[in-house]
Amino acid sequence: MKYLLWLLKAAIFFTLFAFALNNQQDATVHFFFGTQWRAPLVLVVLTAFSAGLAVGVLGMVPRWWRHRTAARRAQAATAVATPAPAQAASTANSTPPAPPPPPDLPSIHGI
């Protein structure tokens, strides 16, 4: 499996390398107010991909922060809700805890 993964990585690398070698012609990108940028086509494609990746990551940062703070709050709530060791020993001799409720089924939207 490890060799198959290395073979896949090598195939992707050589495909991208061949793409770069086949697209060395100059391309002109026209911006606003008559500004233009001349660069090899592979560099233009790589720059556009990198810019799209950066915009996507920056668009997801607020959601990641919200999920992270929600996870911290949930972890703090479970830490507060757990009984102290002395209470846990006294409840261990009594009835076993009830099983957790089944998870809610996801709601189906759309169709």
CA distance 15 to 21: 10
Q: What is the pLDDT of residue 8?
A: 92
CA distance 84 to 77: 14
- The ranges of the chain with pLDDT < 50 are none
CA distance 82 to 88: 9
Q: What is the pLDDT of residue 59?
A: 93
Q: What is the pLDDT of residue 90?
A: 56
Residues facing residue 40 across a β-bridge: 26
pLDDT digits (tens, 9 = 90+) for 69-97: 988 888 888 877 776 555 555 555 667 77
Helices (H), the chain: 2-22, 41-81, 85-92
Q: What is the pLDDT of residue 60?
A: 93
CB 42 within 8 A of CB 25: no
